[in-house]
Amino acid sequence: MIDPKLLRASTAEVAANLARRGFDFDADAYLALEEKRKALQIETETLKSEKNASAKQIGQAKARGEDIEPLLAAVKSFGDRLDEAEAGLEEVLEALRDIELGLPNLVADDVPDGSSEHDNVEVRRWSEPAAFPFDPRDHVSLGADLGLLDFDAAARISGSRFAVMRGGLARLQRALVQFMLDVHTSEHGYQETYVPYLVQAAALTGTGQLPKFEADLFKTTDETPFYLIPTAEVPLTNLARDTIFDADQLPLRLTAHTPCFRSEAGSYGQDTRGMIRQHQFEKVELVHLVPASQSEAALEELTSHAETILQRLELPYRVVSLCAGDIGFGATKTYDLEVWLPGQNKYREISSCSNCGDFQARRMKARVRNPETGKPELIHTLNGSGVAAGRALIAVMENYQQEDGSIRVPDVLKPWMGDTEVIGG
């Protein structure tokens, strides 16, 4: 959520910032509502104040043993007026809340202009795509020939956009997860965390997936439904919900390996081949909870932590700074890591690292006590994939493939692969 005070005081500036995203904010409608809110709130609170004073007088009179009948009569008329004012106020507040929850975060000043992914700016590149002495194949073809990646079986069980993996390939994904968790916990100072995969709507509202992106989520049909997490960002970041941290508890670095579930509504026709875009995939997530002053530096660090994984795996990648038009709803600035996929002959997103500023913290009331003033202040939250295991698996398959269709096991994964040095072949 954008700071309501800022929204109120600097409506035009906020609208201009949101316009960089291509978001059309109806400032006039908002301001009209806000004016109504102000009038109604003042009226309501004044009436309540009068009512409270009257009730207090009655109590005092009664304590003195006086006749309270005349006072009672005088107070009767308050009820209806107050009910009416309160109902009106509630309606306006709800409308305002809908608007506020639907507004994306402000983008940072150093976010490049642009309207789509084509305008994203490459920040740096690591390593170079290897030259293959043969025509590199994509992971679908490799996996099928190995007999270890089976979309047909998945389709019989669950439908499209699911995968079944077997043997060395399934193990390779597990190795990737283990490797990533170990690096982040032992070298980057993250606390390994186990979290629920089913969450309440409030958690998703806290991180910003709701109310706007319900269609992208899987949801149970209970009266109070559970939602399947689309990313561990949701439970990890919500660990800060409704809490006031002591200054010395921050910064907090959390990591978790979870499956992620996405209905991918609106993605039909995109990446239908293979394992790039699935309803269910594995991911190691990184989350930082930091005091406001530290979030810019934290984004650089978090991004470098994700980069470390790709470097150790010796996978060529590039870092792009997302342009204003491509940046996610809750983020104020985002770096995407794009890994080289020889089978597709292009870079594809494998991690997205975002600074959400206080946008999520405000929604979930996550605060830290300022040691100097003693007052609670909103924290800043960051998240990033460190990295997506499914896509990392694809990247390893395609970058480590050999002419006979077998796949070499990257050196750093060997501790989890037993005697297996090559899958297939």
Partner RNA sequence: GGAGAGAUGGCUGAGUGGUCGAAAGCGCUCCCCUGCUAAGGGAGUAUACGUUAAUAGCGUAUCGAGGGUUCGAAUCCCUCUCUCUCCGCCA
- Active site positions, annotated: 262, 277, 349, 352, 391
Radius of gyration of the chain from its Cα atoms, rounded to whole angstroms: 27
CB of 224 to RNA, least distance (A): 8
| E strand residue ranges, 139-224 | 149-150, 164-165, 191-192, 198-199
Cα dihedral sign, 209-211-215-219: positive
Q: How far is the CB of 244 from RNA (least distance, A)?
A: 7
The amino acid that residue 124 corresponds to is R
Segment near RNA (CB under 7 A), from 41-49, 131-139, 337-345, 396-404? Answer: 41-49
Q: Which 8-state DSSP code applies to residue 219? A: B
Around Cβ 235, how many Cβ atoms within 10 Å?
Answer: 23
> Is residue 49 at the binding interface for RNA, with CB under 7 A as the rule?
yes
- Tell me how far, at minimum, the Cβ of 74 lies from RNA, in Å: 9
Binding residue for RNA, selected from 11, 54, 294, 344, defined by CB under 7 A: 54
Kindly provide the residue ranges of all beta strands, DSSP E only, lying in 73-144, ordered along the sequence: 121-126
The Cα 22–Cα 326 span in angstroms is: 9
Residue 4 engages RNA in binding (rule: CB under 7 A): yes
What is the DSSP secondary-structure string of 326-393?
TS-TT-SEEEEEEEEETTTTEEEEEEEEEE-TTHHHHHHTEEEE-TTT--EEE-EEEEEEEEEHHHHH
Among positions 24, 67, 69, 76, the unique one binding RNA when judged by CB under 7 A? 76
Nearest to 79 by CA among 61, 54, 56, 57: 54
Segment holding 304, helix H or strand E: helix 295-312
Of 178, 143, 180, 191, nearest to 164 by C-alpha is: 143
Q: How far is the CB of 310 from RNA (least distance, A)?
A: 34
Q: Does 38 bind RNA (CB under 7 A)?
A: yes
Please report, as residue ranges, which positions from 360 to 389 form the binding site for RNA (by CB under 7 A): 367, 374-376
Tell me how far, at minimum, the Cβ of 136 lies from RNA, in Å.
Answer: 43
Please tell me whether residue 81 binds RNA under the rule CB under 7 A: no
Asked if 56 is part of the footprint of RNA (rule: CB under 7 A), the reply reads yes
Contact between 55 and RNA per CB under 7 A: yes
Q: Which range binds RNA by CB under 7 A, 55-63, 107-115, 249-257, 393-401?
A: 55-63
Which among 54-62, 225-233, 307-315, 414-422 is the span making contact with RNA, rule CB under 7 A? 54-62
H or E element at residue 280: strand 280-290
Using rule CB under 7 A, residue 42 touches RNA: yes
Q: Which of 26, 29, 60, 345 binds RNA (CB under 7 A)?
A: 60
Among 6, 19, 32, 72, binds RNA (CB under 7 A): 72
Name the residue nearer to RNA (CB basis): 83 or 421.
Answer: 83
Give yes or no for a contact between 255 and 184, defined as CB atoms under 8 angstroms apart: yes
- Nearer to RNA by C-beta: 250 or 393? 250
Residues that bind RNA in the complex, under the rule CB under 7 A? 4-5, 8, 38, 41-42, 45-46, 48-49, 51-56, 58-60, 62-63, 68, 72, 75-76, 78-79, 367, 374-376
